[in-house]
Amino acid sequence: MLHRRPWVAVLVAVTFAAAPLLLLANHAWNGYHWARTSNPFTLKLGDNVTAVWDTHLATTSSDWSLSDVLDTTIVAGGTRPKSCRPTSGRVEVCNAKYGPTGWLGIAQIWVSGQHITQGIVKVNDTYFNTATYNTPAWRNLVMCQEVGHTFGLNHQDENFNNPPLGTCMDYTSDPTPNQHPNAHDYEQLRLIYSHLDSFTTLDTSAAVAQMPPAMGQIDFDTPAQWGRIVKGSREAGTSVHELDFGGGHKVFTFVIWAR
Ligand SMILES: [Zn+2]
Ligand SMILES: [Zn+2]
């Protein structure tokens, strides 16, 4: 574990023996995870991206597959890039010119109880086609972070202006060192996926079949449709939103805002 802030190191030293999970588990998203009966499990990433994004999706997929609890595999896309509808039991990855929405990228996960049942990632070419963001570093950071959210990971850091942590789960003004996961992310995944379930949500699962119909019928492109904000803000650079359908059914939206 590499921490740049001295107080974190002190905190680690003080609390490590007594409560190792306290710090190590600090960037899971409320424990949400894919249900599966064994590790490592394989999560399908549906390829709905154009050629310019293919290398970045491939990099992200192989980066995260270094985890010892999960592998990702790129499969034929199951949706149209512009609408980017979810497919149960997997993640659809899309790029398009979504317009001046304010966001560079979003990830959305559908959850039932503690379990993720489907997810999508969208990257917005309206911004990536501009000189500021049309770089491999920006594309890698955003792709890596949004796909990371679909595993149940949250950000490691939410301050845009402090030094980069060396992980794509940190949004920063300098994307160069933040294009890939770091050891702390893999550690976090190990913790999230340390238990096994008696069933899986990695296919067309019962959980998705029981989903309220409204959960699949909303166009989730704009903040007005994301529900209440539960973390961060547009001004801060990243935010997380929760849309609650009742009965433990929720859609979370993780947003990276353009600056
Ligand atoms: Zn579980
Ligand atoms: Zn994020």
Q: How far is the CA of 155 from the centre of ligand 2 (A)?
A: 6
Residue 211 CA to ligand 1 centre (angstroms): 17
Side-chain half-sphere exposure of 259, counting CA atoms within 13 A: 13
Question: In angstroms, rounded to a whole number, what is the distance separating the alpha carbons of residues 170 and 19?
Answer: 24
For residue 195, pLDDT beyond 80? yes
Quote the ligand 1 centre to 197 CA distance (angstroms).
Answer: 5
> Residue 35 Cα, ligand 1 centroid: separation in angstroms?
5
Residue 216: per-residue pLDDT: 74
> In angstroms, how far is CA 4 from the centroid of its own chain?
23
What is the 8-class DSSP label of residue 1? Answer: -
Alpha-carbon dihedral sign for residues 17, 29, 249, 115: negative
pLDDT at 2 over 60: no
Residues 207-223: tens digit of each pLDDT: 666 788 888 766 677 88
Q: Return mean pLDDT, the chain.
A: 89
Q: How far away, in angstroms, is 37 Cα from ligand 2 center?
A: 28
Do the strands 228-232 and 238-246 form a parallel or antiparallel pair, or are they unpaired?
antiparallel
What is the DSSP secondary-structure string of 101-146?
Answer: -SEEEEEEEEEETTEEEEEEEEEEHHHHTSTTT-SHHHHHHHHHHH
The pTM of this model reads: 0.89
More confident residue, 4 or 160: 160
Percentage of the chain surpassing pLDDT 90? 75
Predicted pLDDT at 3: 44
Q: Specify the pLDDT at position 224.
A: 85
Ligand in nearest proximity to the CA of 107: 2
The band of 18, judged by pLDDT with boundaries at 50, 70 and 90, is very low
Q: Please state, as a whole number, how many other Cβ atoms lie within 10 Å of the Cβ of residue 206.
A: 12
Closest CA to 155 of 139, 143, 168: 168
* Ligand 2 centroid from CA 26, angstroms: 15
Q: Residue 42: its pLDDT value, please? A: 98
Q: Is the pLDDT of residue 9 over 80?
A: no
Q: Yes or no: say if 228 and 150 are a contact pair by the CB < 8 Å rule.
A: no
**Banded pLDDT at 205 (limits 50, 70, 90):** low
Residue 25 confidence (pLDDT) above 80: no
pLDDT at 219: 64
pLDDT tens for 161-188 read 888 899 999 998 899 999 999 999 999 9
**Residue 99 C-alpha to ligand 1 middle, in angstroms?**
37
Per-residue pLDDT tens over the stretch 103-139: 999 999 999 999 999 999 999 999 999 999 999 999 9
Residue 91 contacts residue 132 (beta carbons within 8 Å): no
Residue 69: pLDDT band (50, 70, 90) is very high
> What is the reported pLDDT for 85?
93
Q: Is it the case that residue 248 has pLDDT exceeding 90?
A: yes
pLDDT the model gives residue 34: 97
Residues within 5 A (CB) of ion ligand 1: 35, 197
What gap in Å lies between CA 45 and CA 18, rounded to an integer?
38
Contacts 24+ apart (CB under 8 A), 75-84: 75/44, 75/45, 75/46, 75/47, 76/46, 76/47, 77/46, 77/47, 77/48, 77/49, 78/46, 78/48, 79/46, 79/48, 79/120, 80/48, 81/48, 81/49, 81/50, 83/219, 84/48, 84/120, 84/122
Distance 174 CA to ligand 2 centre (A): 15
Residue 248 bridge partners (DSSP) = none
Given a cut of 70, whether residue 23 has pLDDT beyond it is no
C-alpha 167/C-alpha 162 separation (Å) is 13
Q: What is the pLDDT of residue 21?
A: 43
Cα gap 189→194, rounded to integer Å: 8
The two three-digit tokens of residue 207, written as one number: 């959980």
